[in-house]
Structure 1
Amino acid sequence: MPHRSISAPRHRAPALPSTDYDVIIIGAGSAGLSAALSLGRCLRRVLVCDGGPPRNAPSPGVQSFFTRDGIKPAELLRVGLDQLKPYDTVEVRAAQVQRVTPGFQVFEVEAEGESGRTFTVTARKLLLATGVEDELPPVPGMRDLWGRGVLHCPYCHGWEVRGQALAVYGQGKIVTGMALLVSRWAPDLVVCTDGAGHLSPNARRRLRQQKIQLNEEPISHLEGTANGQLRHIVFKNGDKLARHALFVHPHQHQRSTLAEQLGCRLTSKGAIWINKHSQTSISGLYAAGDITPGPQKALLAAAEGTEAAIAIHETLTREECPK
């Protein structure tokens, strides 16, 4: 009988769930659109759920964004959406995600579209890029001037207000650290603590050393112009302090409750914990942008979106091409 060679059986990919998309991205800011771009270039079927205006919508410009320095936030997103058009595997919908149900290698997403109708779609991987919301101090006028006369980031806005009379709002270690940073841009700087500042002797010494003034009078309100520029900080004793801008480091919370609902691990500051591959504590669920730990800037959020997209694509590929 002639010898017949028997070839080794090929490894077959395990049966993967049939889903509407490979990836659903919740959030269409810098992180979400950047991730969609990278995944579209990988020929991945992607749905982006656009939940509305980004955190920086009130700002006159996005600063320090390579090749886009000073671009208006809405224009940056318009360019980002426009550059997704050649990638026909990427779909963007105006939709508010209401519920996410994880299953075995699949996520079911229920969302409400522009018409108010609810739809349900599935994907193998999910990326949260939902952003955060700032909790501004309850000082009358602060919300009205947010993004123009009241600012949160010296790296984003310090150059625009350089050389002007500035102030920093807050108490304790946070206001001390912010004031020392802002002093780089401001020769005339006042820390306003809105009552007792709870500053240590060493903090007071460091402020004096940098010629930063300290005002612990309670604040009544902020006076500004119709276009959002700050004019005066008005104290409850009737005094007025003329300032060009006020920096504040507000508390934040997750804009979406999805991470909490899904049981994601959070950091002590309320950010979504991720590993070095942008994955949350839940398998198949990724996060990028301001919702994760670290510095918050549009350019960094875009980079994190790209990192997450690469990690997602490589994980999908390993699932499709087993050893």
Structure 2
Amino acid sequence: MRDVIIVGGGPAGLNAALILGRARRSVLLCDEGRPRNAATPRTWGLFTRDGTPPFDLRAQGHADLARYGTVECREIAVTQARRLDDGFAVRLDDGREERARRLILATGLSQKIPRIEGFDTYWGTGVHSCPYCDGFEVCDRSLVVYGRGHRGCGLALELTGWSRDVVLCTDGEDEDLSDKDRDRLARNGVRVIEAKVDRLDGDGARPTRLRFRDGTDTPCTALFLMPFACSPSPLIAQLGCELDETRSVVPTHEYEKTNVPGLYVAGDASRRVQFAVVAAAEGAMAAFAINAEFVAEATR
């Protein structure tokens, strides 16, 4: 039985493996190699690595782990997980079972993109979910928020820090937009378009216009999606993790602990702030807590 199994090889999983490797713990890191940010050309806002392509970050992470002989990395999916009396067992995609005393789920989230023509075409290059990650590169241009209700209003107002040309498109769903929200949007120069969206046009590299079913359109250099519900890993449900009110995020406790003893969730699946640097920090905190538990058990 290993000390720790880590599921997910993004910033959270890789940094957890690094800290545990340096603590000389036996670790198996499993990653199926299909990250949520695969379509994103660059990762922004990461200290000393601002603008690095995501797969370059992963490659460097694996290179860093290579010097720690107690850490094994496999490019393979984990299909099942269950709690044991003394730890956890996971079933791999090849049918093999691995066991460990502790389990870290760094599985991230599966992004759901509205089924509108052009949204998937420009996902990562002109359709985004986070202005902190991608707002700077399109500042002072025509920005569109696709969203509704109070949360759509919030994202539109947030984007006014990057551009004064912001439009909120409700796609025909405007009943949740309160009079107070409409007043705030108007006072801050944000137009509201309530027509149903038809498609997002572009030049093949970036979007240029958002078109509506009534025949109208609006300029669109970049489109930001209101945070829609994302799907957590099925492993989270299999292990009995509590979820927040959105049914997508695990509300972790101190040092990324969950309600399941010995199970930790780090990265995007445990936080609303979905930054690479935050995910890496959470992986480190989970690793620290796990090693501290092992030390306490061995020295009591």
Normalised by the shorter chain, which TM-score bucket?
over 0.9
* 1:46 matches 2:27: yes
Instruction: Give percent identity, aligned residues only.
Output: 40
Q: Which residue of 2 aligns with 1:161?
A: 138
Q: Which residue of 1 aligns with 2:287?
A: 309
Structure 2 counterpart of 1:189, from 166, 175, 181: 166
* 1:203 matches 2:181: yes
Structure 2 counterpart of 1:259, from 214, 225, 236: 236
Q: Distance in 2 between matches of 1:34 and 1:79?
A: 11
Moved over 6 A (4+): none
Q: Distance in 1 between matches of 2:103 and 2:113?
A: 31
TM-score with structure 1 length normalisation?
Answer: 0.90
Structure 2 counterpart of 1:300, from 271, 278, 296: 278
SS where residue 280 of structure 2 aligns?
A: helix
Q: 1:69-84 alignment to 2 at 5 Å?
A: 69-84=50-65
Q: Check the 8 A contact 1:151/1:157 in 2, yes or no.
A: yes
Shift of residue 95, structure 1, vs aligned partner: 1.2
Structure 2 counterpart of 1:57, from 9, 15, 38: 38
Q: Which residue of 1 aligns with 2:297?
A: 319
* 1:23 matches 2:4: yes
SS where residue 6 of structure 2 aligns?
A: strand
Structure 1 counterpart of 2:245, from 268, 272, 280: 268
Structure 1 runs not aligned, ≥5 long? 1-18
Q: Distance in 1 between matches of 2:146 and 2:185?
A: 14
Q: Distance in 1 between matches of 2:209 and 2:17?
A: 44
1:214 partner amino acid: V
Structure 2 runs not aligned, ≥5 long? none
* 1:118 matches 2:119: no
Q: Which residue of 2 aligns with 1:3?
A: none
Structure 2 counterpart of 1:32, from 2, 6, 13: 13
Q: Check the 8 A contact 2:82/2:238 in 1, yes or no.
A: no
Structure 1 counterpart of 2:77, from 88, 96, 102: 96
* 1:216 matches 2:197: no
TM-score with structure 2 length normalisation?
Answer: 0.96
Q: Check the 8 A contact 2:28/2:73 in 1, yes or no.
A: yes
* 1:133 matches 2:119: no
Q: Check the 8 A contact 1:134/1:250 in 2, yes or no.
A: no
Q: Distance in 2 between matches of 1:94 and 1:289?
A: 19
Deviates more, 1:194-203 or 1:250-259: 250-259
Deviates more, 1:245-254 or 1:311-320: 245-254
Shift of residue 255, structure 1, vs aligned partner: 4.1
SS where residue 291 of structure 1 aligns?
A: helix
Q: Check the 8 A contact 1:170/1:197 in 2, yes or no.
A: no
* 1:235 matches 2:212: yes
Q: Distance in 1 between matches of 2:149 and 2:139?
A: 25
SS where residue 43 of structure 2 aligns?
A: coil
Shift of residue 315, structure 1, vs aligned partner: 0.8
Shift of residue 137, structure 1, vs aligned partner: 1.8
Q: Check the 8 A contact 1:137/1:250 in 2, yes or no.
A: no
SS where residue 277 of structure 1 aligns?
A: helix
Q: Distance in 2 between matches of 1:105 and 1:287?
A: 19
SS where residue 95 of structure 1 aligns?
A: coil
